[in-house]
Structure 1
Amino acid sequence: MLQKKQAKQSSLVVVGSGIKFMSHLTLEAKIHIEKAEKVLYLVNEPAIQEWIQRIHPNSESLDSFYAHYPLRLHNYQKITSYILENLKKKQHVCVVMYGHPTVFAQPALDAVIQAKKGGYHAEVLPGISAVDCLFADLLIDFGIRGCQLLEATDLLVNCRKPDPSCHLILWQVGIIGMLGHLTSHHHDNTNAAKILRRYLEGYYSLSHDVILYEAAQYPGFKPKIDKFPLKKLPEAQFSRISTLYIPPEMKNTIDESMLKLLNIDKTHLQ
């Protein structure tokens, strides 16, 4: 149990590094990294790791936890505990997470929640995630048709129901069913992709075009945008950072009675 804060005001700030090296790191995040007494980081990209090490002498990578605790759930719990241990040393702690710091970054989020319960000042600063890059690169305004964001394994295991009338984004399609840490960038995802395709057949036609997407990690580089019909999903080249985008296939179902209640002219709808 965390102790209540005393005379020395410890604090915890969790920031996101964004996806594209340095381009996505906000000025506010940089200031917190520079001013912190202790910096902990968990980022995918070597260049940002080197920058953090150079800018802050008291910085430490959290990558080693993956080697000691292969199961993702145990790994996350240990990282959360370690963050809180540093906070209890009466110091200002900044945790840097890849992308947006609450998107598939459960350890840092749990640490903030527990720190707040313990009476510490704790906050999260937003960062750019892969889905923000996806919206920009694929020219999508998700406010028009709505959008579902689902993790691929969660979709299958918990029988989530896609809505074919809105945008669907499936995270972590390259590591379906994997509950541990993936050490290599690529692995055979063919069988899992077949299972996913079979599941999606219940909501989309096999001829419906989908996009396998990977955001660019460096300025000047282009994103990976592979477009193909759903039936060819098992043939796709997945990586651990692959995201699957499925555009709407059906038109919206308009409730005429609701239009009348809200006094909306149907012709004014997009």
Structure 2
Amino acid sequence: MNNASLIVVGLGIKLISHLTNEAKVYIEQSDKVLYLVNEPVMKEWISKVNPRAESLDDLYTKHSLRIDCYRAITEYILAVLRQNLHVCVVLYGHPTVFAQPALDAVIEARKQGYYAKALPAISAEDCLFADLLIDPGSSGCHSFEATDFLVHKRRFDPGGHLILWQISCIGILGHAVGSNQNGLNVLLDYLKKYYTLDHEVILYEASQYPHLDPRITKVHLELLAQAQVSQITTLYVPPREKALFDRSMFEALHTNITDIQ
């Protein structure tokens, strides 16, 4: 086992408020901190608490294709780790949720004999559950990246909660800029197969600052393609109907019917 280590942490969504004490200690005490965050205040704070901090912003915008940027970031993280340092990588949100470079770095570092792990953090999905008062256990929950959802024809139950991420960049392999009307039109055409046009959906954006409320915009499905979305907009589709009750399974479980219906 090598003496160096790699710890990947997330800042959560809301400025400072979501940062855990565990993550804070690693940021302060690591030999080297590499960060990729979109909030200037957090960038300044990271550099202040650890003068050995370095931004990964240049690598994130170095290539036209996002996948090439991700690979470059992963390779750089591993290169710094090989300098026999205790490295902390800091990301926005949760460090393994839509954060492929850090996830790949942890996996590869372990293969190479380094101690590497990712710490839990508050993700946008956690905020969504709280702000929309959703219990994912009430009827099941499907969560997909929007492009993946479409091109792989992911199976899902319309009777459960459906969450679709990154709807602003559907089908875009590079860095998303401006609106993506075609992507939303394709998504709408697909969802129409499972939901009525008057089915109410929610465009959601978690609050990034303690003094601001989240964005919760309710629209009928038929108006989805006309809706205003940003790079952090998530689509939540409520259950279409209550799930069917399987009486034979109920009988096999010997469960009181009043406890399950």
TM-score (norm. length: structure 2) = 0.97
Checking the alignment, whether the CA contact within 8 Å between 2:60 and 2:73 is kept in structure 1 is: no
Residue 162 of structure 2 aligns with which residue?
Answer: 168
Which stretch shows the higher mean deviation, 206-215 or 53-62?
53-62
CA distance in 2, matches of 1:16, 1:46: 16
1:236 and 2:236 correspond: no
Cα distance between partner residues in 2 of 1:55 and 1:23: 16
The 2-side partners of 1:107 and 1:192 are apart by: 25
Letter in 2 for 1:82: Y
- SS of 1:244 mapped into structure 2: strand
Matched, 1:92 2:86: yes
Q: Which residue of the partner structure matches residue 34 of structure 1? A: 28
Answer yes or no: is the 8 Å Cα contact 1:212–1:227 preserved in 2: yes
Aligned residue type for 1:254 = F
Whether the 8 Å CA contact 1:66–1:181 is kept in 2: the answer is no
Corresponding letter in the other structure for 1:192: G
- Measured after TM superposition, the shift of residue 254 of structure 1 is 1.9
Is residue 2:169 matched to residue 1:204?
no
Deviates more, 1:109-118 or 1:66-75: 66-75
Corresponding residue SS for 1:179: coil
- For 2:214, give the aligned amino acid: P
- Residue of 205, 210, 213 corresponding to 1:219: 210
Instruction: Identify which range, 86-95 or 257-266, moves more after superposition.
Output: 257-266
Structure 2 CA distance for aligned equivalents of residues 219 and 256 of structure 1 = 47
Contact 1:12 1:95 in 2 (8 A): yes
Indicate the percent of aligned positions where both proteins have the same amino acid: 56
Deviation at 1:171, TM superposition (A): 0.3
Q: Which amino acid aligns with 2:164?
A: L
Q: 2:137 aligns to what SS in structure 1? A: helix
Which residue of 2 is the match for residue 157 of structure 1? 151
Structure 2 counterpart of 1:111, from 93, 102, 105 = 105
Give secondary structure in 2 for the equivalent of 1:205: coil
Query: Is this contact kept in 2: 1:165–1:252, CA < 8 A?
Result: yes
Pair 1:52-2:46 in alignment: yes
Q: What is the CA–CA distance in structure 2 between the aligned matches of 1:44 and 1:243, rounded to whole Å? A: 18
Paired AA for residue 251 in structure 1 = K
Equivalenced residues, count:
261
Runs of 4+ that moved beyond 6 A: none
Q: Secondary structure at the match of 2:156?
A: coil
Q: CA deviation at 1:161?
A: 2.5
Distance in structure 2 (CA, Å) of the matches to 1:51 and 1:65: 21
Q: Which runs of 5+ in 1 are unaligned?
A: none
For 2:66 and 2:78, locate their aligned partners in 1 and report how far apart those are by CA, in whole Å: 19
Structure 1, residues 82-134: CA drift from partner, whole Å, max 9, x if none?
00001100010000011000000010011101111111111110111111000
Q: Distance in 1 between matches of 2:28 and 2:16?
A: 14
Counterpart Cα distance in 1 of 2:169 and 2:41:
24
Distance 1:243 1:142 in 2: 16
Shift of 1:200: 0.3
| Structure 2 unmatched runs, 5+ | none
Matched AA of 1:202: K
- In structure 2, give the amino acid aligned to 1:212: L
Instruction: Read off the aligned partner of 2:188 and give its amino acid letter.
Output: R
Tell whether 2:1 aligns with 1:11. no
> TM-score under structure 1 normalisation?
0.94
Kept in 2: contact 1:162–1:203 (CA 8 A): no
Find 2:251's aligned residue among 260, 265, 268: 260
Residue number in structure 1 paired with 2:126: 132
